[in-house]
Amino acid sequence: MPRKIVLAYSGGLDTSVAIHWLSARYDAEVVTLTADLGQGRDVQQVSERALRIGAVAAEVVDARDMFLRYFVFPALQAGALYEGQYPLATALARPLIAFLLVEAARKHGADAVAHGCTGKGNDQVRFDLAVQTLNPHLEVIAPIREWSMTRDQELAYAAKHGIEVPVTSEKPYSVDANIWGRSIESGVLEDPAVEPPEDVFEWTAPIERTPPQPARVRIGFESGVPVSIDGEPCGGIALVETLNALAGHHGVGRIDHVENRLVGIKSREIYEAPAAVVLHQAHAALETLTLTRDAARFKQDVAAAYAELIYNGKWFSSLHQDLMAFVQSNQRHVSGDVVLKLHRGTARVVGRTSPVSLYSKELATYDTGDTFDHRAAVGFIRLYGLDMVQQARTQRLPLASDLPRLAARETESGPGA
């Protein structure tokens, strides 16, 4: 009996050629797996193409709900933005696809899984590590890493073996997309000095073509998870799709990021992630009302660690479980509503409310009704600065009278001289 390999199949040129190449090279039967993550391709059509090319079975999974529930929203709760910018759409999808591959391998009795990643990117790391941790007995095959064919050679291979080549647009970009965002690489974008041409964007309007009037949107959260839009309860998929359309229409969600890949390469990435940008902004605003200062400060470190862990392909790790336990606990009071104004490419938070807000108008106000004990401040400052004052008494520190002399010396010879 020939061995079986489950291939993560997107329907693109690389993985279409891989169906044929894997069965020839490994004398194997290829089962394809195509997950609908909201990438906007008809996955049913994609799976039919797999069968025409020669796959013995073509699995299709609508994984959008799972993706949002177990991957995207936890990352949103964590505030995970890689290097402060990238909402991690691709990075979050990989462990889920790996999980589905491992499941399909079990179902079909396959001893290997395959993916279409190159040897230069992060995605290979994410797939390989996720599969190896979920089922160490599975072999992971990455045809593109092995065959070293150029695009033209792949086209020639396809022509020679009668492989149906997907109709591609003329655009010279490498794109990955799911409901949480699109990434666009290569072509002219490889020069970080060059402004992205308008044809890289598909989800966001250019500023010149955004509506003159701003839009307001109210997003409701429960324990850090978005649950309503404009007061209407809304499931995850509809909520993210609605915000992608609305914010994208106002030109919100473009990110131009020179990022540090795990494999040591700097790469210039263009992202479109309207819903992710708006939701991260809204979520952070709600945290300003509902987290204590200490919790908020500590969480910044957790957010950075969490983003890095996801980016670097360590989803299925115990550190992830530990960080997530903190995040879930930390988020239990992050409930309430945030209003944003979308206009000409920017989203701004203009209001926030929470039934468990820590904000107290009675403490903050400068008007009548102030309940803050002003006299208590005197004792507080005395103890808070005790060490500084003691030091000033006994050690020589710059005196106020020194400042004009120090400033004059700087202007004569320039700062730092």
Residues tagged active-site:
14, 94, 123, 174
What is the chain's Cα-based Rg?
Answer: 27
**Residue 85 in contact with ligand ARG, rule: CB under 6 A:** no
Q: Which residue stretch of 106-114, 121-129, 201-209, 387-395 sits at the interface with ligand ARG (rule: CB under 6 A)?
A: 121-129
E strand or H helix at 40, and its extent?
none
**Residue 122 in contact with ligand ARG, rule: CB under 6 A:** yes
Of 128, 154, 269, 287, the one binding ligand ARG by CB under 6 A: 269
Please compute, for residue 153, the number of CA atoms within 13 A of its CA located in the half-sphere on the CB side.
7
Helix, strand and coil in the chain, % to nearest 5: 45, 20, 35
Structure tokens at 12: 């693109």
Q: Quick check: 78 and 110 in contact, CB under 8 A?
A: no
**Residue 174 in contact with ligand ARG, rule: CB under 6 A:** yes
Q: Quick check: 324 and 76 in contact, CB under 8 A?
A: no
Q: Which is nearer to ligand ARG, 90 or 354 (CB)?
A: 90
Q: How many chain residues touch ligand ARG (CB under 6 A)?
A: 10
| Angle between helical axes of 318-330 and 293-311 (0-180°, round to 10) | 150
Angle at 364 between CA 290 and CA 280, to 5 degrees: 30
Q: Which is nearer to ligand ARG, 122 or 331 (CB)?
A: 122
Structure tokens at 154: 């792949």
Residue 77 CB, shortest distance to ligand ARG, in Å, is 19
Q: Which is nearer to ligand ARG, 265 or 356 (CB)?
A: 265
Ranges of beta strands (E only) in 69-180 are: 112-114, 139-141, 174-178
Residue recorded with tokens 């929470």:
354
x-or-dash pattern for ligand ARG, window 206-235, by CB under 6 A?
------------------------------
**Residue 98 in contact with ligand ARG, rule: CB under 6 A:** no
List the beta bridge partners of residue 381. Answer: none
Q: Which is nearer to ligand ARG, 260 or 371 (CB)?
A: 260
Residue 93 CB, shortest distance to ligand ARG, in Å, is 9
Residue 182 CB, shortest distance to ligand ARG, in Å, is 9
Q: Quick check: 307 and 85 in contact, CB under 8 A?
A: no
**Residue 183 in contact with ligand ARG, rule: CB under 6 A:** yes
Q: How far apart are CA 211 and CA 232, in angstroms?
A: 24
Q: Which is nearer to ligand ARG, 47 or 90 (CB)?
A: 90
Residue 91 CB, shortest distance to ligand ARG, in Å, is 4
Q: How far apart are CA 63 and CA 69, in angstroms?
A: 10
Q: Which residue stretch of 11-19, 116-124, 244-252, 327-335 sits at the interface with ligand ARG (rule: CB under 6 A)?
A: 116-124
Residue 12 CB, shortest distance to ligand ARG, in Å, is 10
Of 16, 90, 244, 330, the one binding ligand ARG by CB under 6 A: 90
Residue 142 CB, shortest distance to ligand ARG, in Å, is 12
Q: Which is nearer to ligand ARG, 39 or 90 (CB)?
A: 90
Of 176, 272, 287, 337, the one binding ligand ARG by CB under 6 A: 176
Q: Which is nearer to ligand ARG, 142 or 342 (CB)?
A: 142
CB burial of residue 250 (10 Å; 0-12, 13-18, 19+) = buried
Q: Which residue stretch of 39-47, 56-64, 120-128, 357-365 sits at the interface with ligand ARG (rule: CB under 6 A)?
A: 120-128
**Residue 91 in contact with ligand ARG, rule: CB under 6 A:** yes
Residue recorded with tokens 């974008």:
189
Q: How far apart are CA 58 and CA 161, in angstroms?
A: 20
Q: Quick check: 140 and 112 in contact, CB under 8 A?
A: yes
Q: Which residue stretch of 26-34, 60-68, 118-126, 285-293 sits at the interface with ligand ARG (rule: CB under 6 A)?
A: 118-126
Q: In what order do the strands lie in the sheet with 254-260?
A: 174-178, 181-185, 266-272, 254-260
Residues between 184 and 203 with contacts to ligand ARG, criterion CB under 6 A: 185
Structure tokens at 221: 């959260």
Task: Return residues touching ligand ARG (CB under 6 A).
Answer: 90-91, 121-123, 174, 176, 183, 185, 269
